[in-house]
Structure 1
């Protein structure tokens, strides 16, 4: 295709508009920014990518993205640096447009999950994206977001996942109380992460797989509930959990960043659930 050279062209404006939620909903598509995220979007067969945009320089720098897109029949457009910058100033001259991702709680529960991350009222895009990435890295089966949480297709969320958004199911728009009921009915223990928790995460790791009665067992199928960045979990949200767990702080830090605490909790469960070594 001819090189795109006009940063004010309608195609360029349409791609840039996908940074806004209303435009994403109208189009049913979202923008993927940066080589890592685009590489993963192109590589995962279940993601429908319509277009990839690169400059001549970024095409030479990331030839695997261009080859991967062409192998899947995805249209690859070359544009000037000004055009790619107009589409997204944060994309390092690599942009893609894909259909909105859709996963359902029915599908997640149908796969008999053992580890889930539930984001309740998480509104910071960077934190939400990092928790999705941590969920992927820890081997969680899915990430679930309540309706009060940030839009997972927000460009900042997508960038923060570093491609993990395309690796595991991410279910959005959930009612927390209703979701917790379904998760518990499916056999998952509901643990709320909160600094005021009665259970210490390290103590739970010490007894994982042989926890006494009344003590959460990290080796059991678990859904971790994480709250808002500023105020944590509301009282009514903590009350939904089977237990409230705190991450121990041994230094002088007042608290942990939400995404950091979530990563620690998810990895604790991942370690407790790993198969016994021969």
Structure 2
């Protein structure tokens, strides 16, 4: 059992809360039973180490069985050790270290995708994680992050995806112009989500949303700059029927993705 919170092994795991360490090692943290459960189910080969307190594993016996089925050793730790490793205050008794396995932009657009989310300069980890989760729920074929977007493997992003990170392909680090070019080559229409765009309801009525679509989402505070907007085929805005000043980016993205998912399925 690991008992010393200051041991080299514990410190090496704790460093993964920092982007520099993640970049250097190609590893990242999975905190909590849900993230670990999904990784064991969908990408078990990516897991390098699995740590748990005895009580944490008792609360989640399915994780013990999944680890055994995939031949992954569980290293037991004390509560202080697990807390020293984690980015959160309460890591819920289970932490894993996994290899980063992003998908290439080329591969995401290789299979005739119908729905893609593109994130340009999305900076809030919670927003990005929620967009990935919403894309997964809406049946999207992938998510593409430009190099100006927050690190996919930031612990807050990973937690916010609640395991969806392992359900659909996600690419990182591309230039927006190159991504748009590949999307067009794959037959996708690029629609920017922008407050200056046309009304989404009109686009829905015209059948635009039923076409293969790549939604382009921008920065939380500034939205998309003029150069990025110019790369899109069109821009749409969500109507505000109440008195809210605006919608949170992740909420707006979820609505946009689901509107397209609904339209595409009705057109089948």
After TM superposition, is the score higher than 0.5?
yes
2:234 to 214, 236, 243: 243
Distance in 2 of aligned mates of 1:118 and 1:90: 32
Secondary structure in 2 matching 1:32: strand
Please tell me whether the aligned partners of residues 33 and 90 of structure 1 are also in contact (alpha carbons under 8 angstroms).
no
Distance in 2 of aligned mates of 1:108 and 1:243: 22
Q: 1:100–1:45: structure 2 CA closer, same or farther, 3 Å change rule? A: closer
Please tell me whether the aligned partners of residues 5 and 80 of structure 2 are also in contact (alpha carbons under 8 angstroms).
yes
- TM-score for the superposition, normalised by structure 2: 0.96
2:38 to 37, 40, 54: 40
Distance in 1 of aligned mates of 2:118 and 2:178: 12
- Alignment partner, residue 121 of structure 1: 121
Runs in 1 of length 4+ with deviation above 4 angstroms?
Answer: none
Quote the offset at 1:207 in angstroms: 3.2
- Alignment partner, residue 218 of structure 2: 227
Q: Residue 263 in 1 paired to residue 254 in 2? A: yes
Distance in 2 of aligned mates of 1:188 and 1:97: 36
Q: Residue 207 in 1 paired to residue 198 in 2? A: no
- Alignment partner, residue 24 of structure 2: 26
Secondary structure in 2 matching 1:194: strand
- TM-score for the superposition, normalised by structure 1: 0.93
- Alignment partner, residue 97 of structure 1: 97
Please tell me whether the aligned partners of residues 50 and 75 of structure 1 are also in contact (alpha carbons under 8 angstroms).
no
- Alignment partner, residue 137 of structure 2: 137
Q: 1:188–1:103: structure 2 CA closer, same or farther, 3 Å change rule? A: same
Please tell me whether the aligned partners of residues 132 and 161 of structure 1 are also in contact (alpha carbons under 8 angstroms).
yes
2:8 to 4, 7, 10: 10
Please tell me whether the aligned partners of residues 210 and 267 of structure 2 are also in contact (alpha carbons under 8 angstroms).
no
1:84-118 CA distance string (max 9 Å, x none): 11111342121000001220111111111100000
Quote the offset at 1:275 in angstroms: 5.3
Please give the residue correspondences for 1:186-205 in structure 2 after superposition, counting only pairs within 5 Å: 186-198=186-198, 200-205=199-204
Distance in 1 of aligned mates of 2:264 and 2:90: 38
1:10-42 CA distance string (max 9 Å, x none): 111111101111111221111111111111011
1:219-247 CA distance string (max 9 Å, x none): 11100000000111111111111100001
Report the more deviating stretch, 129-138 or 22-31: 22-31
Distance in 1 of aligned mates of 2:147 and 2:267: 38
Secondary structure in 2 matching 1:112: coil
Secondary structure in 2 matching 1:178: helix
- Alignment partner, residue 171 of structure 1: 171
Q: Show structure 2 runs of 5+ residues with no match.
A: none
